[in-house]
Amino acid sequence: MNRKQALKTIAASAAGIVALPEIGKSMTLLPAELNQKINHSVCQWCYNSIPLEDLVKAAKEIGLKSVELLGADQWAVVQKYGLTCAMAYATDVSLNRGFNDPSLHEKLLKDYSATIPKAAHAGLKSVICFSGNANGLSSEKGIENCARGLEPVMKVAEQHNILVQMELLNSKVDHKDYQCDHTEWGVKLAEKLGSPNFKLLYDIYHMQIMEGDVIATIRKYKNYIGHYHTGGVPGRNEIDETQELNYPAIMRAIAETGFTGFVGQEFIPKRADKLASLKQGVGICDVA
């Protein structure tokens, strides 16, 4: 299952069965405690074979503070175990259709206006949004359309102190024609909106594919970024030595900017013991 498919099924419970002994086995290699310089989260869709409650239990044992990319009906599951949902869904509109499409503005405003107060009441801080595919729109027109659709949403977000964060995705491999596919495009939109409650979700995997220069970009645009996602390049799998990015160096750069948000693990585990891969990924990112 990919992100697009996961978005279509956010109201459904995670399927599949993973025995608790396997979870326990994954925990045997855990460090005594995390350094806490990074607020760790994990994206639920990457672990769809594990029931949500079991994933939350494992995440808590690892030391994560969040399980994210959940719909409103799933938030209570993570909160039951003292965790949060660091990035929440606010609509069922697929990520290839978004705020650059004026025909969706009415629905998106309705959905976000309904979800944002719920998120605030639940103590959450951020909801995700997407530009949608370009479908022939120029870069400038896409920004104009997104700004027009987001402006009334931002008024609701500002009222409830919720961040609305647009994800940067690659249009080269995974999301053909997605419009918000470069950091500078997202920054231009943020500047046009001028709202302190609009931020960018900088996906390290996606932006390595599109533009590289990850650490310099993070330092340059730190004030525009409110959340991070991980993933091994190429392939979007484990973030260890099997891929090309130096995640400890990237995490140190993020910490040095004074970032206090969340880093969400969003790689798709290839190994049989998925939770061992998650634990390893968190350990790689938990810089001193």
Token pair in block for residue 147: 């700004």
Q: CB neighbours of 252 closer than 8 A, spacing ≥ 6?
A: 287
Q: According to the model, what pLDDT value does residue 288 have?
A: 83
Q: Does the model's pTM come out above 0.75? A: yes
- Residues shown for the chain: 288
Half-sphere exposure (CA, 13 Å, Cβ side) for 13? 10
Architecture per CATH, domain 3-11+37-285, reads as: Alpha-Beta Barrel (3.20)
56 phi and psi, to 5 degrees?
A: -65, -45
CA dihedral 99, 103, 105, 106 (to 10 degrees): -160
pLDDT given for residue 276 in this prediction = 97
Report pLDDT for 34: 83
**Which three-class secondary structure state does DSSP give residue 145?**
helix
Q: Tens place of pLDDT for every residue, the chain, 288 residues?
A: 566 656 555 434 333 333 333 333 333 344 557 887 999 999 999 999 999 999 999 999 999 999 999 999 999 999 999 999 999 999 999 999 999 999 999 999 999 999 999 999 999 999 999 999 999 999 999 999 999 999 999 999 999 999 999 999 999 999 999 999 999 999 999 999 999 999 999 999 999 999 999 999 999 999 999 999 999 999 999 999 999 999 999 999 999 999 999 999 999 999 999 999 999 999 999 998
pLDDT for position 263: 98
Amino acid letter, residue 113: S
**228 strand-pairing partners:** 202, 263
CB 70 within 8 A of CB 10: yes
Contact 8, 92 (CB under 8 A): yes
Q: What are the residues facing 133 on neighbouring strands?
A: 178
Give the pLDDT confidence score for residue 36 in this predicted structure.
78
d(CA 153, CA 131): 14
